[in-house]
Amino acid sequence: QVDESKEVESIVPSYACQRRTTLENHNTVFTDALSLLAENAELSDEDGRGVAFRRAAAMLKALHSPVTDLLQLRGLPCLGGHSLRVIKDVLENGASSEVEFTKQSERFKALKVLTGIFGVGAKTAERWIREGIHSLQQLQDSAHTLNRAQQAGLEHYDDLNQPVTKAEGDAIGEIVAKAVMSVLPGAQITLIGGFRRGKLTGHDVDFLITHPEEGREVGLMPKVVSWLESKGFLLYQKTTRNSYLESKDGPARPSSNMDRFERCFSIFKLPEDEKQGTKQTETLTDTCSLTTPSLVKDEGSESTKRANLKPWRAVRVDLVVSPISQFAFALLGWTGSKLFERELRRWAGHEKAMSLSSHALYDNTQSKYLRASSEEEIFAHLGLEYIPPSERNA
Ligand code: CTP
Ligand code: MN
Ligand code: MN
Ligand code: MN
């Protein structure tokens, strides 16, 4: 018999995109544990297990009070046997032995350190670990040639592993806006990703760029990148052109989860006084020339000894360009969270026989694309209650 007063929630829908998940979390002790196991699974190329832990954690994030007894979990969705054992362990012992064991393991620690390098994924880290490389020093001492992204990642390791604040995100937003307005007046810039969901910090800053006249956005990214480069704002960038039109498999059925927008993965050089919020535009270029190349070079590549003397900081920035006709889909697809997005696509496919991507929504029953010019319309097409960005923190 369940004590009604101890029941945390009577009905919790099973898809994360049916739930309102704010940043307020009453069950961090459990969700931290499950998230760590999810991360470990993802870093070990066990995506299925990773998703199972992520779904369990997301369900607990949506509860409005702390879980204090296993009985309260009866009837709640998304909890597999493994996740339940972890929760039980935490309830009974204050911590999960599996989580503690994982945290201490040399393998997990090495995976974290190596994938902390921008440009290094789980597969590369795994290969290096098998060769006995567990630290940045060992990597640098090894004969491995790093690609351009990894070199930049290693060089700016400390900066890139320090969370980006909302103030820094806003400062970068002003620089990006200035760049975009200089090369295409009338274009629109929207903050996406975690900051759009109201997060106070993030691992990067994400922007979506469009123009109200279809077609005017074509070729925009290289111009924006040139402007930023000419002003010294980019430490690294890799631009990928739009491959949407050339694709054969149809817009809503991409061969992978990656979309095909024109995009730029970059590392910004954010001057210190920019992020302080000093907004005299005249000083922009002056500030830039302050950071002389010699200072940059002197900074060195060992990321351990760091008296931070440089008057700037490296920040990961993602830029995406979308035509206005796909803007709502791009906005929804790039606002996250990653699990919320995954659940939206699963809902569309399994419950509605539709295919959702960051480009379009295809109805397989009617054999036609469903148009939308706002996120609200997309939720309506999917038969879902509208969930605002601040409640997509699954
Ligand atoms: N995304 C994507 N394709 C990629 C990378 C990211 O569609 N190649 C989407 C993700 O699904 C996510 C959004 O872009 O919805 C933002 O991704 P990311 O910056 O990695 O995550 P955030 O939620 O912004 O988290 P953080 O604050 O740590 O940056
Ligand atoms: Mn609450
Ligand atoms: Mn982000
Ligand atoms: Mn990003």
Give the pLDDT confidence score for residue 288 in this predicted structure: 35
Average pLDDT score over the chain: 90
Do the strands 262-271 and 205-210 form a parallel or antiparallel pair, or are they unpaired?
unpaired
320 and 338 housed in the same domain: no
- Residue type present at position 186: G
Compute, in degrees rounded to 10, the torsion defined by CA atoms 5, 90, 199, 385: -50
- Eight-class DSSP state of 232: T
- Least confident segment among 163-172, 256-265, 302-311, 316-325: 302-311
Q: Cα(215)–Cα(31) distance, rounded to whole angstroms?
A: 44
Does ligand 1 have an atom closer than 6 angstroms to the CB of 258?
A: yes
**175 and 284 in a common domain:** yes
Check which CATH number belongs to the domain holding 129 and give it. 1.10.150.20
Atom of ligand 1 nearest to the CA of 194: 24
User: pLDDT tens digit string along 97-120?
Assistant: 999 999 999 999 999 999 999 999
pLDDT tens across 373-382, in order?
Answer: 999 999 999 9
Ligand number nearest CA of 64 is 2
Report the CATH number at residue 373: 3.30.210.10
Total of domains in the chain? 4
Are the C-beta atoms of residues 388 and 22 closer than 8 Å to each other?
no
Q: Is 69 considered catalytic here?
A: no
- Same domain? 93 vs 210: no
Is the CB–ligand 1 distance for residue 254 below 6 Å?
Answer: no
Whether 204 is a known active-site residue: answer yes
Output the CA–CA distances (angstroms, integers) from residue 46 to 43, 106, 338, 375, in the order listed: 7, 18, 17, 32
Is residue 187 classed as helix, strand or coil in its secondary structure? coil
Average pLDDT of the segment spanning 217-243: 96
- pLDDT at site 293: 35
* 206 annotated active-site: yes
Out of 32, 89, 158, 318, pick the active-site residue: 318
pLDDT of residue 193: 98
Place of tokens 């029941």: 7
**Is residue 203 predicted with pLDDT exceeding 90?**
yes
- Which atom of ligand 1 lies at the shortest distance from residue 199's CA? 27
By residue range, what is the domain housing residue 98? Answer: 4-102
- In this prediction, residue 247 carries a pLDDT of 57
pLDDT at residue number 259: 80
Q: Which residue, chain included where needed, has tokens 């999960």?
A: 96
Predicted pLDDT at 241: 86
The answer, yes or no, to whether residue 278 has pLDDT greater than 90, is no
For atom 13 of ligand 1, the residue with the nearest CA is 334
Span 338-346, mean pLDDT? 98
Report the CATH number at residue 305.
Answer: 3.30.460.10
In the predicted model, what is the mean pLDDT of residues 327-343? 98
Query: Residue 46: which CATH number?
Result: 1.10.150.110
Separation of CA 91 and ligand 4 centre (Å): 35
At 36 the pLDDT is 98
If one counts every other C-beta atom within 10 angstroms of the C-beta of residue 99, the result is 19
Q: Is 355 helix (H, G, I), strand (E, B) or coil?
A: strand
% of the chain residues with pLDDT over 70: 86
For residue 154, being part of any structural domain is answered with no
Report whether pLDDT(165) > 80: yes
pLDDT digits (tens, 9 = 90+) for 23-81: 999 999 999 999 999 999 999 999 999 999 999 999 999 999 999 999 999 999 999 99
For residue 156, being part of any structural domain is answered with no
The per-residue DSSP string of 129-183 comes to: HHTT--SHHHHHHS-PPP-HHHHHHHHTHHHHTSPEEHHHHHHHHHHHHHHHHHH
Q: What is the pLDDT of residue 277?
A: 54
Radius of gyration of the chain (CA): 23
pLDDT tops 60 at residue 94:
yes
Q: How many CA atoms lie within 13 A of 120 on its CB side?
A: 28
CA separation, residue 231 to residues 179, 286, 324 (Å):
10, 10, 28
Percentage of residues of the chain with pLDDT beyond 90? 82
Q: Answer yes or no: is pLDDT of 290 > 80.
A: no
